[in-house]
């Protein structure tokens, strides 16, 4: 990249939001752990310090060396970052006398300052901190205040260095985008030329340089991520891309053949492999979600190992890994964030497989992947598809996975998804699906008592999967779908609707 913003991550849950806001300005950025800062160069236009669960007063708090950054590059400290720039350069940070979490309003804004110009008194901002900047050095100028926080923002005179106590990256900071644009565009002088088209051009160029004339095997799932990854790789290496679509027996109803047909229609070199029995055998007796994920990942790798040997001189395995997968699977900051779940397409391959991994979408969020796909002319029907988990219905069946349960869930899911499309609700939902619950309940059908299975329907709205709200689907629609499922799917006598948001729940149940 010719220009970028560097984000030093101190473990904040909001760090990924900073990246999203920067990218929304068509500026490329990268997140790196605070203790692994790369060598500064001319391509780095500015640096942002994230928040953190630590206090700057903690003995084991992050303590970055900013000698090569502060005063030399534009620098913006957010929350912990602002406290660090005060605490370590002559100011004082103390525990807050009032817990400062949630909404606050600006009572003072220096509208002449380059960072806060365009912001207004009374504007709502989002606080999330247990410490307060009590005092700042004499060359630090206050540029923003709230009723409870006098030093809500400051500018170090003589430097393009700023500290903000609130979180402009959070949507609840209503003029946060104004502040970030002031920093990224006006202070850092970024040209805002990181667009989907530019991403395609640079990625294809990098893939050509990286792969050369080597052959790549790519697993296709029918979803947005693998589809966009396939087209990017195809643009770079053409017929040297060997796509494989594995039927793991955990796909949606009729998906195997329809996916094969759609990819062949796109001109991709694709082969279908039915390995469903291998997956069922590996899953037999497993009920723990993590063990099921690992079992599915193991068979996935075994199948690809076997298939790779049929492609002479294959050296790479392409994957559609995207940013949220990486975030949820790896402690990105090397410290406070925790692994939520493992992803079967993250973390590399066993040594015996002898394939290198290429992940052209690894640093993109889902909405960015769709925009890149649109710029390459991929069918809107593919780009508009809801996300579907790599382990498929295996993690939507709570408890042991069997072929009988899969068939039942496929029928339930088909009724639900088809209903969303028929009623014009599909595009209003970010992700939807059905979950087979490990419970049975009493019901009455006709004059007979039944004791059958229950399912839960799940539909959420989201931008990138990092957070999600449950969708307020019309009661009439839910009633109609529930009636169809109970009447048409043998073995189901109860339908529930999940009204949990992420956080504290996750989108999937396992």
Catalytic residues: 79, 167, 169
What is the phi/psi pair of residue 379, to 5°?
-50, 125
Burial 242-281 (b: 16+ CB within 10 A, else e): bbbbbbbbbbbbebbeebbebbeebebbbbbbebbebbbe
Give dist(CA 219, CA 251) in Å, integer: 14
- Stated as kind and residue range, the H or E segment containing 486 is helix 475-488
Q: At what angle do helices 403-422 and 475-488 cross, to 10 degrees?
A: 140
Alpha-carbon distance values, 307 to 166, 229, 283, 304, 492 (Å): 52, 19, 21, 5, 38
Strand 153-156 relative to strand 161-164, pairing: antiparallel
Q: Is 26 helix (H, G, I), strand (E, B) or coil?
A: coil
Give dist(CA 133, CA 424) in Å, integer: 51
Query: How open is the CA angle 236-239-242, to the nearest 5 degrees?
Result: 100
- Stated as kind and residue range, the H or E segment containing 225 is helix 224-237
Helices in 341-397 by DSSP H: which ranges? 366-375, 380-383
Is the previous residue joined to 504 through a cis bond, with omega within 30 degrees of 0?
Answer: yes
Give dist(CA 468, CA 140) in Å, integer: 39
Rounded to the nearest 5 percent, the helix, strand and coil shares of the chain are: 35, 25, 40
**Residue 368 half-sphere exposure toward CB, CA atoms < 13 A:** 28
The number of helices, as runs of H, and strands, as runs of E, in the chain is 13, 18
Tell me if 85 sits within 8 A of 123, measured CB to CB: no
Q: For residue 390, give the nearest of 230, 286, 250, 283 by alpha carbon.
A: 250
Q: Is 188 helix (H, G, I), strand (E, B) or coil?
A: coil
């Amino acid at each position: 990249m010719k220009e970028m913003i560097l984000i030093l991550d101190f473990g904040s849950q909001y760090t990924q939001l900073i990246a999203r806001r920067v990218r929304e300005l068509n500026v490329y950025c990268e997140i790196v752990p605070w203790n692994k800062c790369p060598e500064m160069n001319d391509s780095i236009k500015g640096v942002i310090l994230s928040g953190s669960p630590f206090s700057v007063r903690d003995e084991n708090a992050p303590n970055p060396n900013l000698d090569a950054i502060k005063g030399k590059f534009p620098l913006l400290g957010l929350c912990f970052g602002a406290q660090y720039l005060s605490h370590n350069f002559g100011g004082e940070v103390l525990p807050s006398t009032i817990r400062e979490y949630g909404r606050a309003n600006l009572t003072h804004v220096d509208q002449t300052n380059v960072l806060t110009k365009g912001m207004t008194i009374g504007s709502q901002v989002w606080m999330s901190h247990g410490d307060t900047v009590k005092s700042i050095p004499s060359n630090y100028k206050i540029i923003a205040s709230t009723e409870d926080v006098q030093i809500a923002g400051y500018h170090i005179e003589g430097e393009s260095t700023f500290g903000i106590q609130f979180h402009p990256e959070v949507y609840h900071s209503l003029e946060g985008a104004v502040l970030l644009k002031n920093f990224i565009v006006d202070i850092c002088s970024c040209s805002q030329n990181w667009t989907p088209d530019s991403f395609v051009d640079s990625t294809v160029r990098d893939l050509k340089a990286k792969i050369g004339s080597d052959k790549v095997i790519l697993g296709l799932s029918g979803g947005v991520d693998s589809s966009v990854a396939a087209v990017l790789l195809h643009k770079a290496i053409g017929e040297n891309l060997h796509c494989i679509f594995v039927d793991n027996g955990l796909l949606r109803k009729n998906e195997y053949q329809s996916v094969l047909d759609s990819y062949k229609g796109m001109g991709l070199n694709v082969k279908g492999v039915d390995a469903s029995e291998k997956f069922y055998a590996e899953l037999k007796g497993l009920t723990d979600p993590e063990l099921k994920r690992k079992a599915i990942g193991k068979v996935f790798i075994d199948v690809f190992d076997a298939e790779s040997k049929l492609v002479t001189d294959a050296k790479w395995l392409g994957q559609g890994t995207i940013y949220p997968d990486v975030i949820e699977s790896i402690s990105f900051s090397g410290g406070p964030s925790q692994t939520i779940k493992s992803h079967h397409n993250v973390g590399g391959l066993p040594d015996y497989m002898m394939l290198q991994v290429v992940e052209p979408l690894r640093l993109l969020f889902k909405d960015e992947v769709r925009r890149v796909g649109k710029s390459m002319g991929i069918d809107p029907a593919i780009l508009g598809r809801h996300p579907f988990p790599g382990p498929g219905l295996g993690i939507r069946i709570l408890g042991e996975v069997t072929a009988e349960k899969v068939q039942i869930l496929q029928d339930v899911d088909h009724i639900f998804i088809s209903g969303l499309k028929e009623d014009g609700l599909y595009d209003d939902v970010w992700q939807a699906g059905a979950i087979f619950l490990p419970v049975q309940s009493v019901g009455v059908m006709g004059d007979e008592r039944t004791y059958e299975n229950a399912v839960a329907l799940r539909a959420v709205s989201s931008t990138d999967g990092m957070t999600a709200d449950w969708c307020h689907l019309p009661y009439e629609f839910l009633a109609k779908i529930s009636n169809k499922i109970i009447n048409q799917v043998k073995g189901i006598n109860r339908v529930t609707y999940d009204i949990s948001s992420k956080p504290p729940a996750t989108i999937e149940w396992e």
